[in-house]
């Protein structure tokens, strides 16, 4: 199992450009998430999905869009990039544990908007 994979690892964008961050998981998890992590701010939930075709907003969805056409893939779209979107982006998927559940994280995408 590759687990959760993310591409690209790094990207520099100019203000106003758009891009898609790719995320894929091979564990057949229904739940998938996108977070951003800023220094000293912890992980903030951007969007999540409970299954193919079903997505919903998290805490900080403005400036982002998602789609979920398959169980495996959950891409995050940035439209009109702004410097405030400079961050590290993590994709995660989750499965139920006895007495809880575990989120598996990808390696992250470091995005800089200049």
Partner 1 sequence: QKEVEQDPGPLSVPEGAIVSLNCTYSNSAFQYFMWYRQYSRKGPELLMYTYSSGNKEDGRFTAQVDKSSKYISLFIRDSQPSDSATYLCAMWEGGFQKLVFGTGTRLLVSP
60-89: contacts with partner 1 (CB under 8 A): none
Which segment (13-21, 62-70, 75-83, 93-101) binds partner 1 by CB under 8 A? 93-101
Radius of gyration over every alpha carbon of the chain, rounded to an integer in angstroms: 14
Residue 44: exposure state from Cβ atoms within 10 A (0-12, 13-18, ≥19): middle
Q: How far is the CB of 25 from partner 1 (least distance, A)?
A: 12
d(CA 58, CA 104): 18
Distance CA 74, CA 33 (A): 8
Residue 27 makes contact with partner 1 by CB under 8 A: no
Q: Which residue's CB is nearer to partner 1, number 106 or number 111?
A: 106
Window of 11-19, 60-68, 72-80, 96-104 that interacts with partner 1 by CB under 8 A: 96-104
> What is the contact mask toward partner 1 in residues 29 to 58, using x (rule: CB under 8 A)?
--x--------xxxx-x--x-x-------x
Q: Of 42, 44, 24, which is closest to residue 92 (Cα–Cα)? A: 24
Task: Answer whether 74's CB lies under 8 Å from 21's CB.
Answer: no
Q: CB of 106: closest distance to partner 1 in angstroms?
A: 5
Site residues (vs partner 1, CB under 8 A)? 4, 31, 40-43, 45, 48, 50, 58, 90, 92, 94, 97, 99-108
């Amino acid at each position: 199992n590759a687990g959760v994979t993310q591409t690209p690892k790094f990207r520099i964008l100019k203000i106003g450009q758009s891009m898609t961050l790719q995320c894929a998981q091979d564990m057949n998890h229904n739940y998938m998430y996108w977070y951003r992590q800023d220094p000293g701010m912890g992980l903030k939930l951007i969007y999540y999905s409970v299954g193919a075709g079903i997505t919903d907003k998290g805490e900080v969805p403005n400036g982002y869009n998602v789609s979920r056409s398959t169980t495996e893939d959950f891409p995050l779209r940035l439209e009109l990039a702004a410097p405030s979107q400079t961050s590290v982006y993590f994709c995660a998927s989750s499965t139920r544990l006895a007495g809880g559940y575990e989120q598996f994280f990808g390696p992250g995408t470091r995005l800089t908007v200049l």
